[in-house]
Structure 1
Amino acid sequence: MSGAGFLLAVNFLIAQCFCLFFLAVSARSRNRVAARWFAAAYAVASLSALFELLVAFLPPPKPWAILAFASMLAGMLMLRLGIGHLYGLKTNRALLVVLFAVSVALDYAIYDLPRGTLAHALPYQAPFAVALGMSAAAAWRAGRTAVVDRALTAVLAIASVHFLLKAFAAVAAGAGSDAKDYIASQFALFSQSMTAVLIVAAGLMLLCVLVLEIVAEEKVNAELDALSGLLNRRGFDNRIVAALAAPGPHSLVLCDLDRFKSVNDTYGHQGGDCVIRAFGEMLREAAPPGALVARVGGEEFVLFLPKTGREAALLFAQALRASRAVAPIPGLPAGVRVTASFGVAEIGRDEPLRLAMRRADDALYAAKAAGRDCVREAEPPMRPRQTGGRQGKSPPADPTGFP
């Protein structure tokens, strides 16, 4: 077997490996349709290597040569479909079908031309360049600025240009007089070497895009409470430090559902889940832009209200209390109402978050002690003690913020 034949076999195996990788990734990716198109693209394009080998060893060569061209082009057009699904772009499938049909017909028409001439090489390579150029243009049009997305665009663009350059390289190096002689030519060795590099580069870039999206999605899911749809404690902790860095005033509202245990005792845990879900939805819809809303316990919730002073925070909490007191609970009998108690605290200037949370928590307990279904304001933050005519330093902020 010649060096080019060996590289054809290697390219086939590489493409099959990427096909399996994409199928594995599709099981976890939210872009599973795109991943499956990529798997199909590599599987179909890899057949080109087998057909190229059959050209040399199984006469007549013409059907195998045309099938090699068609399978490679079909794989590249499938790649364009996958790119469209990956970036949420519309794809004109009719245009791709027409391009495929016209290109295969053109390849059939030029088959008998000498392979070492530009008259054959340029029409042969141009459809590949166009197909990959369409994918590069689509990736660029998606407008993503992440390094991996830009790298994918660059690899696709380079691969597109590379096919045009191959037409001139075929003329300069010689690609054999016919399809059967191609595999023994120096140009075949160069062509398959470059193809191997581009197969790996494009596959790795596509896998990176998909895997990074999986990682980002898993990170988001790890910070969400599945039942309420709000942030969990970890998600709140991870975001609160950056939120506090913005100019104030800021306020905290702690919420606790009243007599929640009796709901579980009366209607079961499914009934309790209905209450949590309904309360979480109400908080999410009522929260102003930039607010952080989290479920931090079984029936405990916290809201961070940016650029909100105590008076506005109290009005906000009163509105929440009134809404919850009269709103029905989907999944529970129509007459059932579940109220909530609220503690409100404006975060003092330079006050550690943990102290503000403690004051809001004390206010919440005061609301519970006052009969529940009410709002209580926290005591003002303690002023730093004066020591030797200078203010003492406040303790460092605790990122968790929870007492």
Structure 2
Amino acid sequence: MSAAVFFLAVNFLIAICFSAVFAVVSVYSRSRLAAQFFSAGFAVASLTAICELGVAYSTIPVPWAIGVYGTVLAGLVFLQMGIAALYGRPVPIPVAVITFLAGMTAYLVIIDVPPGSLLHRLAYQGPYALVMLAASASVFMSNRRLAIDRALAFLLLFTGLHFFVKAWLAVTIGAGNTARDYVSTNYAVISQSLTAVAIVAVGLMLLAVLALEIMAEERDHAERDSLSGLSNRRGFEKGVRLAMLGNGNRRHALILCDLDHFKSINDTHGHHGGDMVIRSFGGMLRSHAGAGAIVGRIGGEEFAVFLPNTPPTVAVVVAETLRTGVKTMVIAGMPADFIVTASFGVAGISLQESLEEAMRKADAALYDAKRSGRDCVRQAAEAPAEPFDGRNGLHVVK
């Protein structure tokens, strides 16, 4: 077995393995179409090795030579379609078909031309290079700016350019006078080695991108409440801590809110009715809390709103807006006269305080709002300079 044949076998196994892995990943990834394109691309490209052997050992090498070129080009087009879909720039199927047919036409034009010139080799490798450069451009022009996305873009750029290098090497080293001679040349060993490296590098990078996407989605599910669509307690606390770190030494505010008489809503209208109230309340909080606010459902009917760079006095105004907004909610499936109310506790977060301390203060203020008759806002004491009710240690806002 020659070294070139060995590398052909290795490339075949690598492509098949990647095809199988991407097929499995497509089941779990939200970018299912992209993963399916990748799987198809590697599956088609794996046939190249078989066609290469057909060229070397068949008595009719021309059809096999066309198969070599076509399987490589089709595999690369599938990869480009997957990458474009993954990065929000899907390639229409007619465009992909035209790209493939144009490349095949260019190959058929030069198939009988002696392969010794650089122009011939550039014409041969050019369609491969252009497809990969187009894939690289899809990543470069996308809105995704993670380090792995940049790394993939440069890897695809390198892969595209390496086809031009292969054209130069074919002329410099010699790729044989016929397609059958190719397998026994040193160029074949170098070419297949470069191809193996490119296949592994691109395949692993694409797998990493999809794996990180799956991990991010699972993390989002773990930190999001499925009923309200808001962050759950874990996601809320994580978001708040990141916001506090990113805003330096500034004052913030926290609002805790609780739906009034929620048990009676469930008892009267059933759990479906209670779920509809939770869903509507979460949507109202998200739309009324303002830009930059972090909103979460931290308990059954208890919610929290973090307002970065916001003094408590402004947070009280926001809480009053939310309190009014609750009563104007229109909830599907509920009677026209059905009205929901909620109670609110507001606390500032000083430079020395932790989120846990602010939560305790806001919870005490919320408890006072419940004790005071519900459907109201209470603010925890913040500074002696502010009006202060010495009987309960809380500022009262109604």
TM-score by length of 1: 0.89
| 1:236-255 correspondence runs (5 A) | 236-245=236-245, 246=247, 247-255=249-257
Conserved? CA contact 2:289–2:322, under 8 Å = no
The 1:358/1:30 distance shift into structure 2, 3 A limit, reads: same
Q: Is residue 367 of structure 1 aligned with residue 384 of structure 2?
A: no
Please give the per-residue CA displacement for 1:74-133, whole angstroms capped at 9, x wherever unaligned. 111121111111110253654443332232123223223333443532221121111112
Query: How far off its partner does 1:64 sit?
Result: 1.0
Q: 1:328 aligns with which of 317, 326, 330?
A: 330
Letter of the 2:30 partner, please give it.
Answer: R
More divergent stretch after superposition (139-148 vs 39-48): 139-148
Q: CA deviation at 1:325?
A: 2.3
Deviations 1:297-338 (A, max 9, x none): 111111112222233222221222222124232232332222
2:287 match = 285
Are the structure 2 counterparts of residues 226 and 248 from structure 1 closer, same or farther at C-alpha, using a change threshold of 3 Å?
same
Which residues of 2 match residues 69-218 of structure 1 at below 5 A?
69-91=69-91, 93-142=93-142, 144-218=144-218
Cα distance in structure 1, aligned partners of 2:293 and 2:55: 65
Structure 1 stretch 58-67 or stretch 352-361: which is displaced more? 352-361
Mapped to 1, the partners of 2:168 and 2:349 lie a distance apart of: 70
Q: Which residue is equivalent to 1:400?
A: none
On the 8 A contact 1:16/1:42 being kept in 2, the answer is yes
Number of residues of Structure 1 aligned to a counterpart in Structure 2? 383
Deviations 1:256-281 (CA, angstroms, capped at 9, x unpaired): 11111112222222121111111111
Q: Report the CA distance between 1:26 and its aligned residue.
A: 1.4
Report which stretch shifted further, 188-197 or 343-352: 343-352
Summarize the Cα distance change of 1:115–1:250 in structure 2 as closer, same or farther, 3 Å threshold: same
Structure 2 letter corresponding to 1:274: M
**AA aligned opposite 1:277:** R
How many angstroms apart in 1 are the aligned matches of 2:382 and 2:143?
Answer: 48
SS at match of 1:274: helix
Partner SS, residue 180 of structure 2? helix
Q: Which SS does the other structure have where 2:243 is aligned?
A: helix
Give the SS at the match of 1:114.
Answer: coil
**DSSP-derived class of the 2:373 partner:** coil
- Cα distance between partner residues in 1 of 2:6 and 2:313: 77
Q: Percent identity among equivalent residues?
A: 50
Deviation at 1:248, TM superposition (A): 3.6
Q: Quick one: structure 1 residues 193 and 325, their matched pair in 2 at CA, closer, same or farther if it must change by over 3 Å?
A: same
Q: Secondary structure at the match of 1:180?
A: coil
Supply the distance in 2 between the matched residues of 1:216 and 1:198 (Cα, whole angstroms). Answer: 27
Unaligned runs of 5+ in 2: 386-398
**How far does the alpha carbon of each residue in 1:124-155 deviate from its partner, in whole angstroms, 9 at most, with x for none?**
11211111121122222225432222221222
- 1:340-359 counterparts in 2 under 5 A? 340-359=342-361
Alpha-carbon distance between aligned partners in 1 of 2:155 and 2:317, rounded to the nearest angstrom: 55
C-alpha distance in structure 2 between counterparts of 1:105 and 1:288, whole Å: 58
Distance 1:97 1:262, change over 3 A: same
State the 4+ residue runs in structure 1 displaced beyond 6 angstroms.
none
Residue 301 of structure 1: SS of its match in structure 2? strand
Q: In the alignment, residue 288 of structure 2 is paired with which amino acid? A: A
